């Protein structure tokens, strides 16, 4: 069975968590990938942005959203009035899944993670959320939405609204959720805004319209943060 849970240390801070994630073997995606790309940002962040999985450049550099999609995301965040520096940024799946075909030469083509891989990796996301305890989560695209809200999530139907977030929970996640760092017993996020993945605005036929939609949804998140 694919599962990251046995690799997730209890009562660990972000640094310990990141170190442990570097050795995760919870699913086969670690094999062809260069390294684990864990989340980045402060435990004081008010908002957690969740993408799908690292891309080619993220896989090489070990940091989330440092490639083309990340640059577009930063631009959209700035336009919506969210300071990227105040966000904790991570992905639903921590290893780059790709395909390399002879016709494409050396290029590694992104492949979407399966439900099994996404479910296997979720304990890392749960641990990050339990530590950061953001006021709001932003799900970037369908994979993030499904990882956070379940497989019935549909980005087209649920984007751009303030949705209740029931939490990823799990006893172990709660046990790691040590009180005191951000207000006694802070319960963690209970609100989520979903939008499209920024890479959709790089690939779509009507890029400008997709980008406008992304910014509009992020404005809903900005308003919720106040
Ligand atoms: N796309 C994602 O979903 N995450 C990244 O970190 C980069 C691109
Ligand atoms: Fe572990 Fe997630 Fe990487 Fe799979 S994708 S090996 S569960 S960190």
pLDDT of amino acid 212: 98
pLDDT of amino acid 177: 46
Structural domain boundaries enclosing 60: 5-225
Atom of ligand 2 lying closest to residue 7 CA: 1
CB contact at 8 A, 89 and 139 = no
Q: In whole angstroms, what is the distance from residue 88 CA to residue 31 CA?
A: 26
pLDDT digits (tens, 9 = 90+) for 16-25: 999 999 999 9
The least confident of 166-170, 191-195, 203-207 is 166-170
Q: Tell which residue, 152, 146, 98, 89, has the closest CA to residue 122.
A: 146
| CA 5 to each of CA 32, 108, 121, 153: distance values in angstroms, whole numbers, following the listed order | 21, 28, 8, 23
- Give CA torsion, residues 84, 87, 88, 94, to 10 deg: -50
User: Total domain count for the chain?
Assistant: 1
Q: Does 207 have pLDDT greater than 80?
A: yes
Q: Tell which residue, 222, 218, 128, 140, has the closest CA to residue 167.
A: 128
Q: Does 169 have pLDDT greater than 80?
A: no
pLDDT digits (tens, 9 = 90+) for 59-104: 999 999 999 999 999 999 999 999 988 999 999 999 999 999 888 7
Please indicate whether residue 69, judged by its CB atom, sits closer than 6 Å to ligand 1. yes
CATH of the domain at 119: 3.40.470.10
Please give the model's pTM, rounded to 2 decimal places: 0.92
189 CA distance to ligand 1 middle (Å) = 22
At residue 181 the predicted structure's pLDDT band, cuts being 50, 70 and 90, is: very low
Pocket test for ligand 2, best of 2, 4, 9, 50 (most atoms within 8 A of CB): 4
pLDDT digits (tens, 9 = 90+) for 31-54: 999 999 999 999 999 999 999 999
Please indicate whether residue 58, judged by its CB atom, sits closer than 6 Å to ligand 1. yes
Atom of ligand 2 lying closest to residue 3 CA: 7
> Chain-wide mean pLDDT for the chain?
91
């Amino acid at each position: 069975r694919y599962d990251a849970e046995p690799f997730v240390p209890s009562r660990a801070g972000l640094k310990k968590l990141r170190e442990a994630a570097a050795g995760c073997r919870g699913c086969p995606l670690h094999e062809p990938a260069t390294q684990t790309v864990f989340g980045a940002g402060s435990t004081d962040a008010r908002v957690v942005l969740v993408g799908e999985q690292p891309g080619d450049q993220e896989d090489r550099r070990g940091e989330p959203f440092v490639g083309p999609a990340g640059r577009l995301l930063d631009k959209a965040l700035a336009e919506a009035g969210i300071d990227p520096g105040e966000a904790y940024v991570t992905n639903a799946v921590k290893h780059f899944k790709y395909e390399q075909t002879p016709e494409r030469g050396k290029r590694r083509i992104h492949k979407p993670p399966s439900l099994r891989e996404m479910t296997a990796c979720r304990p890392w996301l749960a641990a990050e959320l339990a530590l950061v305890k953001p006021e709001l989560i932003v799900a970037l695209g369908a994979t993030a939405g499904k990882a956070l809200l379940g497989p019935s999530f549909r980005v087209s139907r649920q984007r751009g609204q303030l949705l209740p977030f029931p939490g990823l929970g799990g006893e172990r996640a709660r046990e790691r959720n040590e009180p005191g760092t951000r207000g006694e017993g802070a319960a963690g996020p209970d609100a989520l805004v979903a939008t499209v993945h920024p890479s959709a605005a790089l690939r779509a036929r009507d890029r400008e319209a997709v980008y406008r939609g992304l910014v509009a949804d992020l404005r809903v998140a900005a308003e919720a943060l106040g």
